[in-house]
Amino acid sequence: MDIRQTKGRGRLYDNVLDTVGDTPCVKLNRIAPKHVDVYVKVEAFNPGGSVKDRLATNMIEAAEREGRLKPGQTVIEATSGNTGIGLAMVCAAKGYPLVITMAESFSVERRKLMRFLGAQVVLTPKEEKGLGMYNKARELAEANGWFFAQQFETSANADIHEHTTGQEILADFEGQRLDYWVTGYGTGGTVTGVARVLRDARPEVKIILTEPANAAIVSSGHAQERDENGSPAASHPAFEPHPIQGWTPDFIPLVLQETLDKGYYDELLPVVGADGMAWSRRLAAEEGIFTGVSGGSTVAIAMQVAQTAPEGSVILVMLPDTGERYLSTPLFDGIADTMTDEEVALSQSTPGYQIS
């Protein structure tokens, strides 16, 4: 009888941060069209459950190396959640106090996870959107002498994806076909960093970028208004609230601007939030892969690309996070927390151990 075996990783880790990265690329066997191979890069395997663990680790370590972050100094950041969770993990491991500013519209799970990891979470009015939480973080940093991590501007963002995510993709597909790489954007760090690598080492790979259909700020063609430091000076006029948490704030981040200026993507395709939720549910129910709305939305676009992709094409899709931080969102609408009628009938089909 063949039985699965494991041999360990062959090393011991000095701290949890050393486990960030080297996430697996997993083939979709049941929901992908038969004429192509679709793989997903499952960033939920990071210790904090998302791709933002990479960014969070490098923002802090780069600031330490450069002397911008002092021992014991409070770190502050504006985030929709995943970066904040990653930063809370990093700051807990390294001993820094952390304050997060976050719009009140983002899921309750995110707040609880950050607070569980020792961070303080300051909520900002949903009407002020992402720019409101960003400006609140800057205001608190200036008032208190705190270190403002600035995920939307820092070079540490794209750099870590150039040196980890992009290199992992090259290694995993070495000597093998790779035709398309599909990703969304939040800060833009993933697409910018990985695109630097793919454009140089695998120029045949078509980079497909996606954004919410009702917040298509890049495809609008409107330039972002910025201050002298490159920070957003106003909300982008094409932005509307959308259900894909973690994607597309109400401004074009400076980190993403490199991708726009250098033409790092081959096609930009919009996605409807409801489609992202539907594909997230299919990934869970039919592939056993648990991801959030952003991951489902990226898969939705990958499936659209697959329809016209040549026979034998290989598509790699980024899955940014785990689905567990969406339990209170519309992604889980219709998922019962008590027994359904069918489950009650199943329970009653044998005489014992029934709930009255």
- For residue 169, the SS3 value is helix
CB 206 within 8 Å of CB 180: yes
Give the position of tokens 């009407």.
127
Q: Is 262 a catalytic residue?
A: no
CATH number of 16-50+155-332: 3.40.50.1100
pLDDT in tens, 219-248: 999 999 999 989 999 999 999 999 999 899
CA-CA distance, 30 to 33, in Å (whole number)?
8
Residue 106 pLDDT level (bands cut at 50, 70, 90): confident
Residue 80 pLDDT level (bands cut at 50, 70, 90): confident
CB 213 within 8 Å of CB 304: no
The pLDDT, as a whole number, for residue 1 is: 67
Q: Nearest Cα to 320, choosing from 154, 61, 80, 123?
A: 80
Q: Is 52 a catalytic residue?
A: yes
Written as six digits, the tokens of 102 are 């976050």
pLDDT in tens, 28-76: 999 999 999 999 999 999 999 999 999 999 999 999 999 999 999 999 9
Domains 16-50+155-332 and 52-148 share a fold: yes
Q: Nearest Cα to 79, choosing from 246, 229, 201?
A: 246
Active-site option among 41, 52, 129, 206: 52
Please enumerate in sequence order all residues whose Cβ is within 8 A of that of 96, keeping only pairs 6 or more positions apart, or say none: 60, 69, 72, 73, 74, 75, 90
Q: What residues does each domain of the chain span?
A: 16-50+155-332, 52-148
pTM, full prediction: 0.95
**How many C-beta neighbours within 10 Å does residue 321 have?**
28
The dihedrals phi and psi of 80, each to the nearest 5 degrees, come to: -85, -5
Q: What is the CB-side half-sphere exposure of residue 129 using CA atoms within 13 A?
A: 16
Phi-psi region of 21 (alpha: psi -120 to 50; beta: other; left: phi over 0): left
Q: What is the CB-side half-sphere exposure of residue 182 using CA atoms within 13 A?
A: 28
pLDDT for residue 356 is more than 90: no
Residue 107 pLDDT level (bands cut at 50, 70, 90): confident
Q: Where are the beta strands (DSSP E) in 47-188?
A: 75-78, 98-103, 120-124, 147-148, 180-183
pLDDT in tens, 261-314: 999 999 999 999 999 999 999 999 999 999 999 999 999 999 999 999 999 999
* Residue positions counted in the chain: 356
Written as six digits, the tokens of 262 are 């250098």
Written as six digits, the tokens of 77 are 């950041």
Active-site option among 50, 235, 294, 313: 294
CA-CA distance, 161 to 92, in Å (whole number)?
23
Residue 162 DSSP code: I
Q: Does domain 52-148 have CATH number 3.40.50.1100?
A: yes
List C-alpha distances in Å: 255 to 177, 205, 251, 290: 29, 22, 11, 28
Phi-psi region of 118 (alpha: psi -120 to 50; beta: other; left: phi over 0): left
Tell me how many degrees the CA angle 105-110-111 measures, rounded to the nearest 5. 80
